[in-house]
Structure formats: structure tokens, C-alpha cells
Amino acid sequence: MKNIALGRYIPLNTPFHRLDPRAKIDAMFLMLIAIFIPAGFIGYGIIGVAVVACIYLAGLKFDFIVKAMKPMMFMLVFLLVVNAMVIKDGVALVTLGSFSIYSGAIIQTLYITVRLMLMVMITTLLTATTKPLDLTLGIECLLAPFKKIGVPAHEIAMMISIALRFIPTLIEETDRIIKAQTSRGVDLDEGSLKEKIMAVLSLIVPLFVSAFQKAEDLANAMESRGYAPGATRTRYKVLKWTTSDTLLIVGTIVVIILNVGVWKLL
């Protein structure tokens, strides 16, 4: 449970960690756009090389990334099953009676798998190398222009940062509650359906109680320190855009151009 990697910040001091959060967020969006350019596997190869280079620069271990992808395994299996039943392109690879699995289904699944993997890698790269607070600050700065049309930029950023801040806390809490209930004989793996429902209840109820309690405590703490959502404030930390940030953006734009090139040429 504690080993959940998705969305977790890894405290290291690499060039990638030191980049401006705004640059990283922009780069992430540009890369996500690049993924949706239909440049086939070659396009994904280009993006993949760029992403892997960044992962290397950020000092992230390969198995950390693999762990971050684990939660989507189930989805991919589901996707494979659906594709196998629906897509009838290409040649039949396996035939079971009147039902065949076609190569098109496999290729299509593989294609989506690669796409999802890249997306998880890119977002993990952002969350693993950017402190939640910096991330919020970045989001807030990027949303600032929309304030004029009534987007509550600061509030959105604050909500995101609180949510991110509490992910590890809730994971820890879940872990604790699992242990406490396990001591009371709860068995999450075995037992009848009724016992399983009871087991899940014995985890969810305390988790909700503690989450609401924490929310209330946090609200009180913020209020007693004079937090007012709309107030103008100065910043202790001011973001600074450096040459490496520009390089990151240029790099991602190059990737997009390459992808567009591949798409148009092929």
C-alpha cells in the first residue's frame, strides 16, 4: 500500500527537479498534445526517447516508473478483451471455434497501451520531480490570465495542492487502519462475501471519519492563521524562469514538430 508510486514526489536534487514548475507543466501539456498526433509507432518512438531521457535526467529508477503504471494494468486487460471481441481487421491469429482474435485487435491494444504508458510516464515525471507546493504555484501562475474571466485560479490551485498533499497521508492512514483491523481478525483475502463486505466497511468507515476530521482540522488551522482565499498576498518563493526551462520547452516543441512531420510524410 505504501509503495504506491503514482503522484508521489521523490526528493532528489537533479537538473530536472530544479526546473521551473511552469516550464514542466507547459512541457507536460505539450507532450500530451504530441501523444495525440497520429504519427504511429514511429511518433511514439520519438516521444519515448525524449521521455526516457528526461526520466534519466530526473534520476528516477525504472522500477519506480513501472510501479506507477501498475494501477492501469487492470484497465489494459479489460481493453484487450474488448478489442479482441470488437476488432476484426488483419489476419486471424488465434481461432477458437467460431471466435478468432485478429492481429488488428492486438496492434490496436498495443497502440493504446503505449499511449497510456507514455502518459503515465510524463505525468509521473512531473509529480515526482516537483514539490506539491511548487506545482500549485505553477498552476496558479498559469491560470492567472484566466482570472479576468472569473476563473478562481488561486482557489483551484489551493484545492489541487491540498489534494496532492493528502494523498500520502491518506495512504498512510489506510495502511494503519488495515493493520489495526487485521489485528482484530479482519482477513482481506479470504472469507465469504458477507465477511468481505464487513472487512471493507471496517476500513472505509474509519478512513472517511479520519479524512473528514483532517479536513476540519485543516480548515480551522488555515482560518486561525488568517487565510482568506481572495486576498492579495506576496510570495516567499518567487518562480524564476531560466535558460534550461526555455530549453525544455524548445525540446518538447521539437518533439511535436517531428511528430507532425512523421504524420504528414507517412
Partner 1 sequence: MSVKFKNVGHIYSPDSPFEYVALHDVNLELPLHKMVAIVGNTGSGKSTLVQHLNALLKPTSGEVHINDRIIVADEKPRNLKSLRKVVGLVFQFPEYQLFEETILRDIAFGPKNFGISEEEAEARARMAIKQVGLDESYLMRSPFDLSGGQKRRVAIAGILAMDPEIIVLDEPTAGLDPQGAKQMMQLFADLKNKHNKTIYIVTHDMEHVLNYCDEVVVMKDGRMIHQSNVEDFFAEGELLNDLHIAPPAIIKVKQMLKERGFKLSKANDFDTLVKDIVKEVRK
Q: What residue ranges bind partner 1 (CB under 8 A)?
A: 2-3, 10-12, 61, 63-64, 173, 176-177, 179-187, 201-202, 205-206, 209-210
CB of 128 to partner 1, least distance (A): 10
Closest contact distance (angstroms) between CB of 134 and partner 1 is 18
Q: Minimum CB separation from partner 1 for residue 124, in Å?
A: 13
Tell me how far the alpha carbon of residue 154 is from its chain's centroid: 21
Which C-beta is closer to partner 1: that of 34 or that of 177?
A: 177
Cell of 18: 530544479
Cβ closer to partner 1: 100 or 182? 182
Residue closer to partner 1 (CB basis): 177 or 258: 177
Please identify, using beta-carbon distances, which residue of 32 and 205 lies nearer to partner 1: 205
Task: Kindly state the smallest distance separating residue 25's Cβ from partner 1, in Å.
Answer: 23
Strand spans (E) along 23-89:
none
Where on the phi/psi map is residue 204: left (φ > 0), alpha (ψ -120 to 50), or beta? Answer: alpha
Nearer to partner 1 among residue 12 and residue 94 (C-beta): 12
Give the helix/strand (H/E) hosting 47: helix 40-57
SS (H, E, C) 142-164: HHHHHHHHCCCHHHHHHHHHHHH
Residue 224 CB neighbour total at 10 angstroms: 8
- How far is it, in rounded angstroms, from Cα 146 to Cα 58? 31
Closest approach of partner 1 to the CB of residue 21, in Å: 20
